[in-house]
Amino acid sequence: MSHHPAPPQRLGNILIERGYLTVAHLQQALDHQQRAGRGKLLGEILVELSLCTEDQVMECLAQVYCVPYAKLEQRLSDPRIVELLPREYIEKNLVFPLFRIQQTLTVAVTEPSNLFLLEEIRGLTGLTVQIVASSAKDIRRMITTLPDSKTFVIEDIIEDNSQTEVTLIESAVEDISDSTECAGQSPVIRLVNYVIYHAVKEGASDIHIEPAERCVRVRYRIDGKLYKSLEVPLNLLGAVTSRIKIMASLDISERRLPQDGRVHVMLDGRKVDLRVSTFPGNRGEKTVIRVLDTRSVSLNLRDLGFAEDILTPLQQSINAPNGIVLVTGPTGSGKSTTLYAALNEIASMENNICTVEDPIEYHLPLINQFQVQERVGLTFSKALRTLLRQDPDVIMVGEVRDDETARTAIQAALTGHLVFSTLHTNDAASAITRLINMGVEPYLIGAALNAVLAQRLVRRICGKCREAYDPPRTLRKAIEKMGYPMEKFFKGAGCRKCRNTGYSGRVGVHELLIVNDELRDAIVAGKSVAELRRIAAAYNMVTLRHDGFRKVREGLTSVEEVIQIAGETVGGDRIAAVELPTTSAPHATASSGAGA
């Protein structure tokens, strides 16, 4: 949303007169505006601080500029009128033609003071232009209803009373057997919208829609754990699956083979990408939807939980002129997010940064991103070889899956490129032996490798219900024996904000192996993983376990979370068998579901 500056006090006064804002909140926004410096408009700040809604600000701005305010609805859209302006122009300037009376065209705009915009529209249409003020959210919603739009709008049809919604769907479509016809019925559309809407609101990373014996179970993955959200009658499975397939442009008649697709949905005025995967099972098709919500992901290294003694050498590695930086860890450990954040840090007009991904999860500015297409033969290794002819400075390969990709990546690093990639290994040192097992010569690895970052994600203790507690003596002794004595232990008691789990959000736990001269010699000599770890430890490498317990000491996460990841690391005491204090069970409701 952007408008030209209005007299701040006047806009503020109108908001106060209408009861949308208090004097104290206005002063808070004006103070924030002063601190932010030039370029920040009062209306934007009020919405940003959640002191007013975008609609309230636009309504009052309309009064400031003496133009009508319009709350837009889909029925106001007339395709013949919309065609008076080019689609690209409508999207770029956030304007929307509403209706025409003789030679006067009425257009909804977000910038009622922009006279140049009015002149442009007049020149494009040859008509007299009359404007109404509307919120950017409403105009975006109208744009996505146009016939050629590939974006679905999730309407604000969701009420807090989720039980009513589910009951309505059960009674409305119970006896419809044709899934294609049923998928177009509004109750099924409302159900699918409901599931997606609440998944995004809850911060879910994945939605699982799976047929059980007597029902269709919907589960959300929040902060890495799956929680049941709701159950739907089993006879709705076909209709729900078909609706999702229609959204993702998949073949609704194909039910015997797996299918993959993408959907863009509009939610609260912003785009959210969904990756859809269907897989036939013994009870019917299971659908998993991965939610890619850029708002819930920080692409800043400092926000990802790095300790200073890991962040500083990592930043030095990603600013190196050449070499390879690997990020390792199991699926869902945040490897891609870390790589995106690293690329974001070094992105500039002076660098040609190219990525080869499968799939592209987040679109980044100043970075050229390319999608692997296995079906037409564009594999990681082939795309990487071709990319080297595109004059890159920095290359990111989504994953090293085979020896050919590994060799090409190492050759790229040795010929003056900086290469980022991921591997699936349990810790940093194991990445070196994994590359050797792929058939890459140790002397090439020793020459090309700069650093290996191993990472996991642990759940963060909820800040609202965090409390100190006294753990069992056996647990305290086991942790002290490992060299991590602690004065205080923390856990989440469970509250409404964290769905009674005691956790809200996740934080990274890291282990960074910097390849120095001694390690290079050890790699070339073919030393074992244990020997490589010993050398790294002599140079004070922070291990996953050490970084994890450091975060426990800081009250960021719990002992149980670190024990889960520490039990996977090789070497040292294994403490996964230590008796743990029980945590609160998640309170699952139809609207509280899960994923993260």
The residues, ordered by sequence, that sit 6+ positions from 240 with a Cβ below 8 Å of its Cβ are: 183, 188, 191, 192, 209, 216, 232, 287
Residues 257 and 341 in one domain: no
Longest CA span, the chain: 85
Q: How far apart are CA 235 and CA 233, in angstroms?
A: 6
CATH number for the domain harbouring residue 260: 3.30.450.90
Tokens of 471: 């753990």
* For residue 258, cis peptide bond before it (omega within 30 degrees of 0): no
Token pair 């000491």 in the structure block, residue: 553
The 8-class DSSP code of residue 59 comes to H
Within 134-269, strands assigned E span 151-153, 206-211, 215-222, 225-233, 259-267
Residues 25 and 133 in one domain: yes
Beta-bridge partner residues of 457: 508
DSSP helix/strand/coil, 208: strand
The 8-class DSSP code of residue 201 comes to H
Residues 441 and 395 in one domain: yes
- The DSSP-derived string for 96-134 is EEEEEETTEEEEEES-TT-HHHHHHHHHHH-SEEEEEE-
Calculate Rg over the CA atoms of the chain.
Answer: 27
Q: What is the mean pLDDT of the chain?
A: 81
CB 301 within 8 A of CB 345: yes
CATH number for the domain harbouring residue 69: 3.30.300.160
Q: How far apart are CA 583 and CA 220, in angstroms?
A: 19
Residues 24 and 86 in one domain: yes
pLDDT at 576: 39
Tokens of 347: 């992105």
551, part of any domain: no
Question: Contacts for 305-314 with beta carbons within 8 Å, 24 or more apart?
Answer: 305/507, 305/508, 305/509, 305/510, 305/551, 305/556, 306/508, 306/510, 307/510, 307/542, 307/547, 307/550, 309/542, 310/510, 310/512, 310/542, 310/547, 313/451, 313/512, 313/514, 314/342, 314/451, 314/453, 314/512
User: pLDDT digit string (tens) for 23-41?
Assistant: 888 888 888 877 766 666 7
390, part of any domain: yes
Beta-bridge partner residues of 131: 107
Q: Which of 247, 269, 55, 1 is nearest to 142 (CA)?
A: 269
Residues 66 and 197 in one domain: no
pLDDT at 567: 62
Q: Taking the mean position of all CA atoms in its chain, how far away is CA 557?
A: 21
- How do beta strands 353-357 and 449-461 pair? unpaired
135, part of any domain: yes
Tokens of 217: 């179970």
Q: Which of 278, 195, 190, 179 is nearest to 235 (CA)?
A: 179
Residues 351 and 415 in one domain: yes
User: pLDDT digit string (tens) for 353-399?
Assistant: 999 988 788 788 889 999 888 778 888 888 888 888 999 999 999 88
Q: How far apart are CA 552 and CA 495, in angstroms?
A: 20
Beta-bridge partner residues of 232: 216
Token pair 């050890």 in the structure block, residue: 522
Cα dihedral 399, 403, 408, 410 sign: positive
pLDDT at 174: 28
DSSP helix/strand/coil, 472: coil
Buried b (16+ CB within 10 A) or exposed e, 138-165: bbbbbbbbbeeeebbbbeeebeeebeeb
Residue that is last in its domain, among 247, 265, 293:
293
Residues 56 and 76 in one domain: yes
Q: How far apart are CA 185 and CA 171, in angstroms?
A: 13
Residue that is last in its domain, among 497, 523, 543:
543
Q: How far apart are CA 508 and CA 311, in angstroms?
A: 12
Question: Contacts for 481-489 with beta carbons within 8 Å, 24 or more apart?
Answer: 481/573, 482/545, 482/549, 482/572, 482/573, 482/575, 484/546, 484/549, 484/552, 484/553, 486/549, 486/552, 486/553, 488/555, 489/552, 489/558, 489/559
Q: How many structural domains does the chain have?
A: 3
Residues 254 and 316 in one domain: no
pLDDT at 62: 85
Residues 102 and 206 in one domain: no
- How do beta strands 489-492 and 466-469 pair? antiparallel
Q: How far apart are CA 329 and CA 422, in angstroms?
A: 8
The whole domain housing 229 covers 188-293
Beta-bridge partner residues of 220: 207, 227
157, part of any domain: no
Q: How far apart are CA 234 and CA 174, in angstroms?
A: 10
Kindly give the parts of the chain with pLDDT less than 70.
Answer: 1-9, 36-40, 74-77, 145-186, 268-269, 294-296, 567-596
pLDDT at 163: 36
Q: How far apart are CA 39 and CA 4, in angstroms?
A: 10
CB 241 within 8 A of CB 285: yes
259, part of any domain: yes
565, part of any domain: no
Beta-bridge partner residues of 273: 264, 292
For residue 312, the surrounding DSSP H or E stretch is helix 308-318
153, part of any domain: no
289, part of any domain: yes
- The DSSP-derived string for 275-286 is EEEEEEETTEEE
pLDDT at 296: 67
CATH number for the domain harbouring residue 423: 3.40.50.300
Within 329-417, strands assigned E span 353-357, 368-371, 394-397
Residues 403 and 350 in one domain: yes
pLDDT at 412: 92
Residue that is last in its domain, among 249, 274, 293:
293
DSSP helix/strand/coil, 224: coil
Q: Which of 160, 24, 143 is nearest to 79 (CA)?
A: 143
Residues 284 and 310 in one domain: no
The residues, ordered by sequence, that sit 6+ positions from 498 with a Cβ below 8 Å of its Cβ are: 462, 464, 465, 492, 504
Residues 362 and 423 in one domain: yes
